[in-house]
């Protein structure tokens, strides 16, 4: 018996240490989840594309260190915005199956901790952009943050027009990248902006349809609640997709892109349009999931094509 007690006494600190380590990893995972890394990936891709294309058009060439500064600052602001969004919407997220397990909504992270964490990330990122990149990039990031949190977020509970309002700040990342490389915004930058702006409508219509019951239960008005809903979804999806297809083919018509871009962009357009048309006709959860997957592939793919095939 004494020997067994001695062994148990020796094992207890190891078990306690392992418990604390696992707890710390869980907390770190919760804070990581707050930043919405899957959303930030697309933000960084479009920011990088804006910087890359602006640098390629300038005599100074592409510089690695400024790109790193730009992506890091943008990532911090985006992570802060995602965290603060979850802080603001914590009580509504708790009523949705899709978001009820989020760190703040589920109570795993105190709201005050999320508030300070998100504010620190956002302010650090914006100041970093101002000091390490330039004032225009910092101003664009700040305007995006404020409009996302204090315009789009509250409008989600008031009107379906929130999708239109939210698309404008949501399309800013390539402008941040372009401004970081050039210190100004040229017409080509606004073409990139328009691409992301239009892309958001079919992307979000798929999400809104898949979780329409969740949104309604939480009091979000991202879709009309009457007979106008189906017509609204169809126009938001197909109208934006047709405009996006036309926009993506303009560089080919103008002779600014090579053969690979022309073929690749046309193929991506047709696939995206196909899934959008199928969703518009069926309006089923399965069709919405396919459209969502197509949108996630389309945006980075079309920007990569532009970067690889600029004449």
121 Cβ contact list (under 8 Å, min separation 6): 35, 76, 77, 79, 80, 83
Please tell me the predicted confidence (pLDDT) of residue 172. 98
Residue 262's pLDDT is 85
28 located within any domain: no
Number of domains the chain is built from: 1
**2-34 and 111-132 helices cross at what angle (nearest 10)?**
60
Nearest to 34 by CA among 93, 207, 292, 265: 93
- DSSP per-residue string spanning 227-279: TTHHHHHHIIIIIHHHHHHHHHHHHHHHT-B-HHHHHHHHHHHHHHHHHHHHH
- Distance between CA atoms of 306 and 46, rounded to whole angstroms? 11
Which region, left, alpha or beta, applies to residue 130 given φ > 0 means left and ψ of -120 to 50 means alpha?
Answer: alpha
In a domain, 5, yes or no: no
Does any domain span residue 9?
no
* Domain carrying residue 202: 35-308
CATH number at residue 47: 1.10.357.140
* The pLDDT value given to residue 60: 55
- Position 3 scores a pLDDT of 47
pLDDT of residue 12: 47
In a domain, 73, yes or no: yes
User: Is-contact 195 254, C-beta < 8 A?
Assistant: no
What is the model's pLDDT at position 210? 95
Residues of the chain falling short of pLDDT 50 = 1, 3-12
In a domain, 15, yes or no: no
- What value, to the nearest 5°, has the Cα angle with vertex 308 and ends 305 and 311? 105
Residue 135's pLDDT is: 97
- Is residue 67 domain-resident? yes
SS3 310: strand
Q: What is the pTM of this model?
A: 0.90
Residue 19 lies in a domain: no
> Is 8 among the domain residues?
no
CB neighbours (10 Å) of residue 17? 10
């Amino acid at each position: 018996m004494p020997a067994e007690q001695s062994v148990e006494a020796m094992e207890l600190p190891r078990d306690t240490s392992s418990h604390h380590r696992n707890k710390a990893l869980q907390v770190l995972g919760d804070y990581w989840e707050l930043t919405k890394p899957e959303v930030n990936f697309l933000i960084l891709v479009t920011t990088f594309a804006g910087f890359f294309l602006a640098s390629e058009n300038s005599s100074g060439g592409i510089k690695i260190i400024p790109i790193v500064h730009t992506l890091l600052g943008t990532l911090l602001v985006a992570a802060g915005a995602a965290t603060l969004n979850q802080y603001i919407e914590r009580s509504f997220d708790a009523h949705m199956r899709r978001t009820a397990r989020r760190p703040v909504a589920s109570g795993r992270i105190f709201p005050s901790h999320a508030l300070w964490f998100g504010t620190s990330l956002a302010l650090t990122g914006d100041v970093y952009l101002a000091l390490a990149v330039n004032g225009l990039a910092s101003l664009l990031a700040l305007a995006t943050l404020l409009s996302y949190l204090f315009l789009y977020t509250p409008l989600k509970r008031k009107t379906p027009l929130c999708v239109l309002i939210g698309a404008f700040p949501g399309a800013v990342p390539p402008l941040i990248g372009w401004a970081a490389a050039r210190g100004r915004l040229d017409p080509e930058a606004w073409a990139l902006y328009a691409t992301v702006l239009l892309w958001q409508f079919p992307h979000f219509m798929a999400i809104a349809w898949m979780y329409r019951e969740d949104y309604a239960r939480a009091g979000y008005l991202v879709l009309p609640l009457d007979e106008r809903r189906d017509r609204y979804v169809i126009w938001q999806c197909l109208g934006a997709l047709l405009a996006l297809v036309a926009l993506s083919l303009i560089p080919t018509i103008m002779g600014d892109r090579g053969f690979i871009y022309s073929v690749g962009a046309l193929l991506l357009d047709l696939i995206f349009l196909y899934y959008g048309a199928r969703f518009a006709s069926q309006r089923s959860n399965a069709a919405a999931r396919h459209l969502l997957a197509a949108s996630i592939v389309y945006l980075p793919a079309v920007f990569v094509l532009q970067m690889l095939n600029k004449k």
